[in-house]
């Protein structure tokens, strides 16, 4: 029996794929992969597609790290440094609450000048003013940065942010786990092992997080499967990941100088493969801020059951060329999902259905 037939049979029987079989998935025809991934998606979610009404806030773009792939950091090609005051952040949240947000998503650069208290105080203020708003904040990369900057253990940082109102952790900072590639694209940032360790510690506290993978730069297909396998292993151990988010690399305004963007076909293959290979992470997100809205809608037929949310304003991906700066209205989001043949379901940050 040919290897592809063996793999197809394993997928249909819901048997776990090995690393080598995961890599072989990239040899499948695009529409065949779509069919295999879509069957898994339909079996689990039917034609429901999740979204949430959220607000992204990026408090500062001043960063001590020098990441080759980043277009957001003010220390590189972006000369416009900023750090929001607490008053500005609270005013932003206040205005967004009027628009019905259920979540505020706060991630930032690694600013050595703001201090740990800057973050803890704003989390506490948001939580006290709007206790019904879910605070998702501080990627593992930021936890690592704060730990090093202030000589606290990961455990101390995590316990403190929980005490001040943070309820879940975003998946940023994972990039690609292979350390040789990390050295080239984000040397100095949290290591892959420590990223995993921080999420393990977070899950052990009864909290949930997301997991990301940045792809379409200098990594190989095998590197993507290696990345997914490490996430799958941790999920076996903790069960703490809500969603996997494959992030399509944005090519503008950075030092990697990737000559052309990833093809839509390769992006869709990777999304489909994540649905197939990550058999224990329930939600696969086609993050429209990096994939574009059109591709994210198509990805619903390639295993994705979540498109993220309205965002309102986004600074990190848009700095690298993504068309996500001003978000999407909730009514438009619902209409786009419905018109593409799926059922829009608003969710909260922990994937409880709202309506």
pLDDT tens by residue, 28-62: 999 999 999 999 999 999 999 999 999 999 998 87
Residue 210 pLDDT grade (very low, low, confident, very high; cuts 50, 70, 90) = very high
Greater pLDDT, 93 or 76: 93
pLDDT in tens, 195-209: 999 999 999 999 999
Distance CA 275, CA 341 (A): 19
Domain ranges of the chain: 30-346
- What are the backbone angles phi and psi of residue 336, rounded to the nearest 5°? -65, -45
Mean pLDDT, the chain, whole residue set: 88
d(CA 217, CA 272): 19
**Average pLDDT score over residue span 225-232:** 98
Report pTM: 0.90
CATH topology (fold) of 30-346: TIM Barrel (3.20.20)
Span 163-170, mean pLDDT? Answer: 97
CB burial readout 186-207, b (16+ within 10 A) else e: beebbebebbbbbbebbbeeeb
For residues 231 and 247, give the distance between their C-alpha atoms in angstroms, rounded to a whole number: 15
C-alpha–C-alpha distance, residues 310 and 313, integer Å: 9
The Cα 201–Cα 70 span in angstroms is 27
pLDDT digits (tens, 9 = 90+) for 306-333: 998 887 654 444 344 334 345 677 888 8
Q: Is 73 a residue whose pLDDT tops 80?
A: no
Name the band, by pLDDT with cuts 50, 70 and 90, for residue 258: low
């Amino acid at each position: 029996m040919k290897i592809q037939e063996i793999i197809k049979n394993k997928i249909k029987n819901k048997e776990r794929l090995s690393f080598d079989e995961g890599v072989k998935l990239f040899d499948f025809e695009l529409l065949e992969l779509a069919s295999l991934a879509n069957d898994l998606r339909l079996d689990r979610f039917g034609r429901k597609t999740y979204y949430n009404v959220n607000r992204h806030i990026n408090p500062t773009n001043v960063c001590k790290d020098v990441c080759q792939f980043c277009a957001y950091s003010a220390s590189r090609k972006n000369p416009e440094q900023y750090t929001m005051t607490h008053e500005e952040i609270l005013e932003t949240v206040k205005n967004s609450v009027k628009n019905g947000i259920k979540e505020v998503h706060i991630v930032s650069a690694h600013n050595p000048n703001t201090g740990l208290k800057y973050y803890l105080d704003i989390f506490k203020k948001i939580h006290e003013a709007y206790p019904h708003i879910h605070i998702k904040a501080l990627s593992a990369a930021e936890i690592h940065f704060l730990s090093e900057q202030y000589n606290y253990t990961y455990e101390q940082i995590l316990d403190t942010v929980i005490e001040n109102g943070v309820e879940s952790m975003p998946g940023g900072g994972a990039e690609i786990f292979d350390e040789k590639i990390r050295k080239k694209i984000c040397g100095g940032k949290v290591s892959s092992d420590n990223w995993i360790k921080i999420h393990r510690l977070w899950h052990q506290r009864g909290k949930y997080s997301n997991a990301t993978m940045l792809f379409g730069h200098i990594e190989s297909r095998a590197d993507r499967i290696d990345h997914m396998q490490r996430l799958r292993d941790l999920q076996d151990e903790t069960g703490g990941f809500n969603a996997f988010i494959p992030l399509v690399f944005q090519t503008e305004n950075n030092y990697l100088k990737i000559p052309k963007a990833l093809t839509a076909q390769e992006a869709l293959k990777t999304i489909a493969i994540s649905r197939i290979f990550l058999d224990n992470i329930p939600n696969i997100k086609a993050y429209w801020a990096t994939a574009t809205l059109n591709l994210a809608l198509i990805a619903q037929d390639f295993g994705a059951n979540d498109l993220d949310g309205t965002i309102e304003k986004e600074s990190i991906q848009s700095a690298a060329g993504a068309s996500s700066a001003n978000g999407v209205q909730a009514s438009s989001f619902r209409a786009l999902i419905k018109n593409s043949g799926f059922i829009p379901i608003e969710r909260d940050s922990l994937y409880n259905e709202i309506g």
